[in-house]
Amino acid sequence: MVMPESPTSRELRRFMLELVDAFGTVAVGQGLPRFVPERLGRFDQQVTSKFHRDGAPAASLLVLGYEPTSVRSQLFVADAECAARDEGMTVAAFLSANNPMFPAGEHRLSRYITEVVFPQDVPCVVLINNSLSTDDIPECPLGVLHKAVIRSPDPAARRVINSVGLMYAGETSTKMKTREEIEHFKQRDDLD
C-alpha cells in the first residue's frame, strides 16, 4: 500500500496501527479472533536476509512500514505451504527437508517465489501473512516466508523499516503489547 501523501515517520507508524485496528475489527466481524500487536520495532536493514518466518505465534501477521530510502532493495515472499502441499508433505516436514536458509532448500521453493514490488522513494506499508499452519489452530491462515535482498548497502544512508508483529488476542505463548508500549512505538525516533 503506497501512502497517498508523504507522511512523517510518526504519521506512518500511526497509520500502521490504525490499519491494525481496522484489520482486527474485520477479523472479529468474520468470527475470527482479533489480531493484536505482540512485537514493535524500528530498524535500519541493509543486510540481505534468507527466506524466513519471523519468530511469532503460529497465527501471525507482519505490518511493515517502509520509509523512503536511497538504498535499493527487493522483497520476496515464498509460499512454502503450497510447495509442501504439492510435495504431499506438511509444511514442517517440507521445511525440515528443504531448509530455505541453504541454496538447495531455497531452490526447492523457486516455483513458489514472488517479488513484492513497491516504490522505495515514498512511504509504503506491506502486510505479510507470517502464519505457520498447525493442527492446533485449524482456522490459522496459511502464511508465507519472506526475504530482503539489498543490492548496494550504503552506510551513509538509512533503510528504515517500522515493524508491527501481530498475533491472535488471547495467545498465551507471548504477551500482547501494552498501551504504553504502543504509544512509545508511535512517538520514538531511535532505532532498535
Task: Give which of 34, 13, 15, 14 is closest to 23, Cα–Cα.
Answer: 34
Mean pLDDT of 69-97: 94
pLDDT, tens digit (0-9, with 9 covering 90-100), for 123-179: 999 999 998 876 666 556 678 999 999 999 999 999 999 999 999 898 888 899 999
The C-alpha angle with vertex 122 and arms to 117 and 128, in degrees rounded to 5, equals 45
- pLDDT at residue number 154: 97
pTM here is 0.92
Name the pLDDT band for 58 (thresholds 50, 70, 90).
Answer: confident
> What residues pair up with 2 in beta bridges, in sequence order?
124
Rounded to a whole number of angstroms, the CA Rg of the chain reads 17
Domains of the chain listed by start with CATH number: 9-187 (2.60.120)
pLDDT, tens digit (0-9, with 9 covering 90-100), for 3-54: 667 899 999 999 999 999 998 899 899 988 899 999 999 999 999 999 999 9
191 in Cβ contact with 43 (< 8 Å)? yes
Distance CA(61)–CA(164), nearest Å, equals: 8
